[in-house]
Structure 1
């Protein structure tokens, strides 16, 4: 017999994982500047080891839970939602983890509240303690986010009066709302797509990437995906116009969600002729344009968000196109070529071209179900775009979880999720050799503990009496 696995044991193991994450984050997370500890201090070392100990426990709990979901008596979606709530609970009051983006959100909200053009200036224009928390690379960078998110951030800034602890908690609650909308949409989208609702929740909502980056990291991708998910549910049901409005609002948080409008047209005109496609395209476009104009006017931030879509990415970004651009540029520079400065833009343009070709192939030739096609499309945008972050994988993963046609697809996506969950330090800073060693040590320690628990749970073989 192997390790005894049931829903309660998985819940307890995952809770232990997120509890260690929260505790380790107190000294190794993306802390405010006045709480920052030197990476070599004892507290920071223990925190980093503790965080990765927790990450591995969480991944193990999630993998074991996947076995329960695929077992003869799978848990109900309601019981899985309870597991999600239990796992997320310790992270609610933890410091930000794996990224400092939440400080940028707060600074941008304060800028809107102070009537500073966030599409023309970076947080440095705001000044003060809040702007000082923003990572140096983004101090002079205009925001790439849409007016809907900026309104949310501005309201939060006004409510918290620039107080950092209250602002961080508020941003995490907003992210939790987004995750709740994702979890509500997943079973409904899965049933519509002929998939297992429990399996969809396991892969799309209980995924470690959701807990690490949408909850612990408080990324605004959560509210984008939540609005996108409920918008698709509404669009496939009796409220197609409401669905378009919600998906447009999602795109006015982060632009990739605009691809959801293509899925709406496909959902409404599926199995019908070209006239139906044209009619639903006109209806969807009209509703989306009206929503965009109304939301932008209500936000009062103007249309600078369109030009801000070209906001530069981090020079250390490890997307395939950025990596190839840096390598090509370095090689051309060594050769003394004057083309070196053009290498990165050229590779970014190539990435956009590849993405466009893939989108056409998915929608016009491959023609899977609309929800699955949208998931594949968002995955292509994430992979071949100019910037890649581990949480960007959730753009496509969320909808692939809801509509994947085979278990093998889910298995591959789950394996990729587990790997990505280990790739970012809790401080959100670039890793050095010492920090990597400490992180690996924490993960290995967790594996040792899990192995010991496995061995202790195995029944002992009976000892044969020796005969004379």
Structure 2
């Protein structure tokens, strides 16, 4: 028998998940260094169990909500947005979770505010308590972000005067603004693509990855995707130049969004503009926006070297894994080519990405939003670095434009797996932490199963 499902129960179950998740993050999250408990402490262990207990409850609530969206009487987009607010509420006051990137954002904003070149120096050049919060790998690494995001981070640094608690709250508010833009754009994109707006919101915004990494983790991908979605909405309407400006602003947060300019051009051509005029108009809007944004931010054009940012040794991108394995094999064989293995695989990955993106656009020219979503997913999959939240680059637009329910189901399955892929501290896992994480998830499954049995006990009794 099916688990009884309605909107109120989905709200309550998801809220319980994010509340327990936020509570567990108080001892197991990506906390400031002075607040970190001992890794082997009881508090850290209970926090880790609690985080994964909450994550599994959240995934269960999301899956049940998906069933409700596909039912004969689905909730409206407005009702789903209310669910998003309810689920996200506990995460607003939680510490950073699943990554320490937010500390890098704050340090880089303080560097811009102090007129230190973030494209030639890492946060170590800033020094002080804020730089010490940055993960050791990135303390000597130049910023990989564009002037739009660094300008926002610099303004936030000035407003908060370098105070860490205020800065963390401010950066989460920036991420929430990006999520709000995503939620505003997605139903409009879905209607244009002939998709159900409620189904698009369920997959693209209520997704656990959005809550765990864009809200709880405060990643700047939210800002990138929000501006990208808004730019595509503008391009669909009567404002193609505004669309080009907004998509360029998204690319000046993180570079992959630049692929959206191809969609802006195609949308103009579909609206009746000549291809040459569409290309020139979009290029002019892009150039003017880039010059203006870079001048206002005062960061210079060092962001053009963003793709050269070093890759984490804990990175599990396909090309990095193959590069590590090949390098280890060559080293064991005594070959001098071992150091070249990783760069060679990264170059091959970029080449494969380019070929696949061209093939996608050639085949899906009449469906630019879907083509863009698949292209961004390809960039994330075959790039030299990957994190679970990178999946949102393509997922956000695939949610609006997927041509079939089966595509949405496969994407949803990948989402559920990726939601469990990173520790709340953002660091690498050891065996003990993995055991605790699995224990928390298993405990949540037991509770859900007992709730299922309790809900059906009266019906079973009547049947007997």
TM-score in terms of structure 1 length: 0.97
Where does residue 460 of structure 2 map in the other structure? Answer: 461
- 1:350 is matched with which residue: 333, 348, 351? 348
Matched, 1:12 2:35: no
Rounded to whole Å, the distance in 2 between the matches of 1:47 and 1:72 is 40
Cα RMSD after superposing both structures: 1.2
The equivalent residue for 1:2 is 2
- Tell me if the contact between 2:230 and 2:243 (Cα under 8 Å) persists in the aligned partners: yes
Query: How far 1:2 sits from its partner (Å)?
Result: 2.9
Counterpart position of 1:227? 227
Contact 1:231 1:245 in 2 (8 A): yes
Report the Cα offset of residue 239 of structure 1: 1.2
Equivalent-residue separation in structure 1 for 2:233 and 2:64 (angstroms): 29
Partner of 1:153: 153
Corresponding residue of 1:398: 396
Stretches of structure 2 lacking an aligned partner (at least 5 in a row) = none
Aligned equivalent of 1:340: 338
Paired positions, count: 463
Alpha carbons 1:362, 1:368 under 8 Å: kept: no
| Residue 436 of structure 2: aligned partner | 438
Determine the C-alpha separation between the residues in 2 that align with 1:357 and 1:105.
33
Match of 1:250 in 2: 250
Give, in angstroms, the shift of residue 464 of structure 1: 9.2
- 1:391-418, CA deviations, whole angstroms, 9 ceiling, x for partnerless residues? 0000000000011010000000000000
* Equivalent residue runs for 1:205-216 within 5 Å: 205-216=205-216
In the TM superposition, 1:118-137 aligns within 5 A as 118-137=118-137
What is the Cα deviation at residue 197 of structure 1? 0.2
Deviation at 1:463, TM superposition (A): 7.3
- Map 1:41-440 onto structure 2 (within 5 A): 41-270=41-270, 276-367=274-365, 369-440=367-438
Q: Residues 364 and 370 of structure 2 are in contact (CA less than 8 Å); yes or no, is this contact kept in structure 1?
A: no
Once the two structures are superposed, residues 340-372 of structure 1 have per-residue CA deviations (whole angstroms, 9 ceiling, x without a partner) of 111101000000000000011011134351100
Residue 227 to residue 271, structure 1, CA distance change in 2 (3 Å): closer
Task: Give me the whole-angstrom Cα distance separating, in 1, the residues matched to 2:106 and 2:375.
Answer: 30
Tell whether the 8 Å contact from 2:266 to 2:365 is kept in structure 1 after alignment: no
Residue 460 of structure 1 deviates from its aligned partner by: 3.9
Report the Cα distance in structure 1 between the residues aligned to 2:362 and 2:62, rounded to whole angstroms.
36
Q: Residue by residue, what CA displacement relative to the aligned partner does 1:252-273 show, whole Å, maximum 9, x if unpaired?
A: 000000000000011111275x
Q: Encode CA deviations 1:426-450: one digit per residue, 9 max, x unaligned.
A: 0001000000000000000000000
Check conservation: 1:30, 1:99, Cα contact below 8 A: yes
How far did residue 461 of structure 1 move?
Answer: 2.9
**Residues 464 and 182 of structure 1: CA distance in aligned 2, closer, same or farther (over 3 Å):** closer
Q: Which shifted more, 423-432 or 358-367?
A: 358-367
Q: Give how far 1:4 is off.
A: 1.5
5+ long unaligned stretches in structure 1: none
CA distance in 1, matches of 2:322, 2:252: 30
Query: 1:96 aligns to what SS in structure 2?
Result: coil
Matches of 1:229 and 1:461, distance apart in 2: 48
Q: Secondary structure at the match of 1:98?
A: coil
- TM-score norm. by structure 2 comes to 0.98
Q: Residue 119 of structure 2 contacts residue 142 of structure 2 at CA under 8 Å; is this kept in 1?
A: yes
SS in 1 for 2:2: coil
Cα deviation code 1:8-53 (max 9, x no counterpart): 1001000000000100000000000000011210100000000000
Cα deviation per residue 1:150-207 (whole Å; 9 max; x = unaligned)?
Answer: 0000000000011000000000000000000000000000000000000000000000
Is the Cα–Cα contact under 8 Å of residues 2 and 457 in structure 1 kept in the other structure? Answer: no
Alignment check: 8 A CA contact 2:380 2:386 kept: yes
Does the 8 A contact of 2:370 with 2:397 survive in 1?
yes
What CA distance in whole angstroms lies between the structure 2 residues aligned with 1:384 and 1:462?
Answer: 54
Deviation at 1:143, TM superposition (A): 0.4
- What is the CA distance between 1:308 and its match in structure 2? 2.9
Q: Spell out, residue by residue over 1:197-221, the C-alpha distance to the aligned partner (whole angstroms, 9 max, x if none).
A: 0000000000000000000000000
**SS of aligned partner of 1:461:** helix
